[in-house]
A and B are shown apart, each in its own frame.
Chain A
Amino acid sequence: MLEITNLHAGADGVEILKGINLTVNAGEVHAIMGPNGSGKSTLAQVLAGREDYQVTEGTVRYEGKDLLEMEPEERALAGLFMAFQYPVEIPGVTNAYFLRVAYNAQRKSRGLEEVDPIDFMDLLDEKLKTVDWTAEILERQVNAGMSGGEKKRNEILQMAVLEPKLAVLDETDSGLDIDALKIVAQGVNNMRRPDNALIVVTHYQRLLNYIVPDYVHVLVDGRIVKSGGKELALELEAKGYEWVQEAGAVS
């Protein structure tokens, strides 16, 4: 589904990603861990098409297409979704409206008729259950005035509505309390299907107890220095990143 080969990318002339290789197949869950500033969000943003980052080398293929050639909205319409580490506030636009516009953008791109607000509400009722929220949240403005945890949950609500094929969750667990973490993880798990895939960026093993990864990758200074199964996350928790950095230097 996703094939990243020797990806180098940076911003303002500074290289941040220094040769990333990663393959994600349908049905898989990949966790990416790594110290602050190692380039995890940069990778997520490059995948989503953020123009502030320049790709200097390497390729990214998504479902056989050259992802780097696609505009951000083309990527979204092709089923790529990135849950932001820092969701952007849009005062003046309600969640309900935003979700409908995004949903209809998808429908239009597939040649389907747009849904009207009333039919859309029925659909939303269903989606709200995924994140255990009531309709009140729909009348709130998009992320504006929301707590950190609410914003993260709101990202997952958007994901539930857009039903992506490949979702990249950038530290969606940070800022969530224990109960919300369980709810969000449960919601994400419910969306898992054999034909979609998930990349979860996190600092904490805790999330991976709920969303169990097939692979764990450790990103240090723009490179994946170690990959392994879910037990790698436990090992990291016990030994810290210095351990992989040393191990990475040896191998």
Chain B
Amino acid sequence: MTLTSYLKDFEASAANGGGRPEWLMPIKRGAIDRFEALGFPDRKNEDWKFTSVAPIARSAFSRMAAGDTVPTEADLEPYLIGPPEWPRVVFVNGRFVEALSTVSGLPGGVTLGTLADAMAEEPEFVARHLSHTASVEGNSFTALNTAFITDGVVLHVEPNTVVEHPIHVLYLTDARVGEGATYPRTLVVLEHHARASLIESYAALHDGVYFTNAVTEVSLEAGSRLDHYKIQQESEQAYHVGTLEARQERDSHFHSLSFALGGALSRTNIYTVLDGEGGYVTLNGLYVVHGEQHVDHQTSIIHAQPSCTSHEVYKGILDDQAHGVFNGKVYVHPIAQKTDGKQTNQNLLMSPRAKIDTKPQLEIYADDVRCTHGATVGQLDDQAVFYCRSRGLSPAEAKTLLTYAFAADVLEQIPSRPVAQYLERLVMERFLGSREG
């Protein structure tokens, strides 16, 4: 039984100092108990109807070993975004790599560092926030991550403080040391009227089979704003489950982009609760997959208070036999009057064998709201391909142009120019690569 292997792994690491700090132990133990009770979700679970995690459950990944070699600046190159002054926090196989990280030059009122350091140095702060926004109750993977918390990133911005440059966190895996799992944990706390941008990249330094199980908790106090980018470009043999949970207070603004390109099987959960009046959330996403990749997104926006706005656009481009899943829930509480909610999911199937299961879900219990949702699935327009060819473009150039055009509005909405350009490049390279392949 594979559950047992996780439980054993837990006991082993707890016995061997992995339980530190002391105060966290009850939380971790609670989490592993939760995981034991829940098990891995099967497809009878409504939230996992279209995604089977059997390959992950079967593999019984133990904690990833440390990499044999220390990566160099050059190894990072393909994943770096923006100018060198952007603060950077690098992890390889779950271990912080100080030599490649630059966390200096941040203004006063900004704490950026590792979770391990924060747990040691600011235990009250961490205890107040860790495992509060991301619930282990119904989510096996969050429970598993919580049970195995060792390190990750903490970003804490004090009131009225603006972090000028986007902060780039790279969770990298070097799969040459063999199969294994990492459990990155990220904690973001923006106090009232603070502003920051955070990029989380998930990528492989060397391809292979591994499992990333990440959890990010975001707490946005009144009037704060976070621009968050998740860039998932894992090895195409890897498994990735990442959950971000946010709680937004009055007039806060959360702008989220989930970009997914890698993974044999990936699942991204982005959940937010609009828990104060005047909150604003944008959840955008773009997934571009080919081969036999399986990519799944589940989003949840809970309008718990009046006069909040949520805008969501997820787009998918699926080639070959790739399989996409989108499930977007918008839930409007009875008191959440004057809610403005828009949600769309659009998919482009590049091959007759590509497949998408899309399920936008709107549940409204207030009467004075403006909400729309919809999903589309289509192919490249033959007429448009012909139009391009009649102007001298090759079929491949026409296909690239039109596919790119399909994704354009999501890319254009990205507030950070360097991030947008980086993702544009990844998308272009994928198309060019697919064509040659």
A-binding segment of B48-56, B100-108, B195-203, B391-399: B391-399
Query: Which A85-138 residues have C-beta < 8 A from chain B?
Result: 87-93, 98, 101-102, 105-106, 109
Per-residue CB proximity of B387-427 to A under 8 Å, as 1/0? 11111111101000110111111000000000000000000
Assuming the contacts A101-B397, A101-B401, A105-B397, asked whether A90 and B384 have C-beta atoms less than 8 A apart, the reply is: yes
User: Which of A46-54, A175-183, A191-199 contacts its partner?
Assistant: A46-54
Minimum distance in angstroms from B364 CB to a CB of chain A: 30
Inter-chain contacts of A90 with B (CB < 8 A): 384, 387-388, 401-402, 405
Which one of A57-65, A76-84, A237-245 contacts B?
A76-84
Q: For the complex, give the distance between the alpha carbons of A158 and B388 in Å.
A: 12
Q: Are B387 and A84 in contact (CB under 8 A)?
A: yes
**Closest chain A residue to B400, Cβ basis:** A101
Least CB distance, B347 to chain A, in whole angstroms: 15
CA distance A101 to B402 in the complex (A): 12
Q: A73-B394, A101-B397, A105-B397 are in contact. Are A92 and B389 (CB under 8 A)?
A: no
> In the complex, how many angstroms separate the beta carbon of B45 from the nearest chain A beta carbon?
37
Docked-complex contact B387 and A51, CB < 8 angstroms: no
Is B383 an interface position by the 8 A CB rule? yes
> Looking across the interface, which residue of chain B has its beta carbon closest to that of A83?
B390
Q: How far is the CB of B231 from chain A (nearest CB, A)?
A: 21
Kindly list chain A residues whose C-beta atoms are within 8 Å of the C-beta of B23. Answer: none
Q: Assess A72 versus B409: contact at CB under 8 Å? Given A88-B384, A90-B402.
A: no
Q: Which of A51, A90, A98 has the most CB of B within 10 A?
A: A90
Contact A73 B393 (CB under 8 A): yes
The one of B390, B392, B401 in contact with A93, judged by C-beta atoms closer than 8 angstroms, is: B401
The answer, yes or no, to whether B386 is at the interface (CB within 8 Å) is yes
For A106, what are the chain B residues with a Cβ–Cβ distance below 8 Å? 392
Contacts of B404 in A (CB 8 A): 92-93
Residues from chain B with a CB closer than 8 A to the CB of A162 are: 391-392
**Which of A84, A91, A101 interacts with B393 by CB under 8 Å?**
A101
**Contact in complex: B405, A73 (CB < 8 Å):** no
Residues of B within 8 A of A158 (CB): 391
A side interface size, CB within 8 A:
28
B406 near A92: Cβ-Cβ < 8 Å: yes
Q: Are A93 and B386 in contact (CB under 8 A)?
A: no
- B393 and A102 contacting across the interface, CB-CB below 8 Å: yes
A243 smallest CB distance to B (angstroms): 35
Bound complex: CA A162 to CA B392 (Å): 9
- Knowing A91-B405, A92-B405, A92-B406 are in contact, say whether A105-B392 is a contact too (CB < 8 A): yes
Known: A92-B405, A93-B408, A105-B394. A76 touches B384 (CB 8 A): no
B397 surroundings in chain A (CB, below 8 A): 101, 105
The 7 residue pairs across chains A and B that have the minimum distance between CB atoms: A92-B405, A92-B408, A105-B392, A88-B387, A76-B392, A72-B389, A102-B391
- Partner-A contacts on B (CB < 8 A): 381, 383-384, 386-395, 397, 401-402, 404-409
User: What are 18 A-B residue pairs whose CB atoms fall within 8 Å in the complex?
Assistant: A49-B390, A72-B389, A73-B389, A73-B395, A76-B389, A76-B391, A76-B392, A81-B390, A84-B387, A88-B381, A88-B386, A90-B402, A92-B404, A92-B409, A93-B408, A98-B401, A101-B397, A102-B392
List the interface of chain A (C-beta within 8 A of B).
48-51, 71-73, 75-77, 81-82, 84, 87-93, 98, 101-102, 105-106, 109, 158, 162
Q: Can you add 14 more A-B contacts, CB < 8 Å, to A49-B390, A73-B395? A: A50-B386, A72-B390, A73-B390, A73-B394, A76-B392, A82-B390, A88-B381, A88-B384, A88-B387, A90-B384, A90-B402, A90-B405, A105-B394, A162-B391
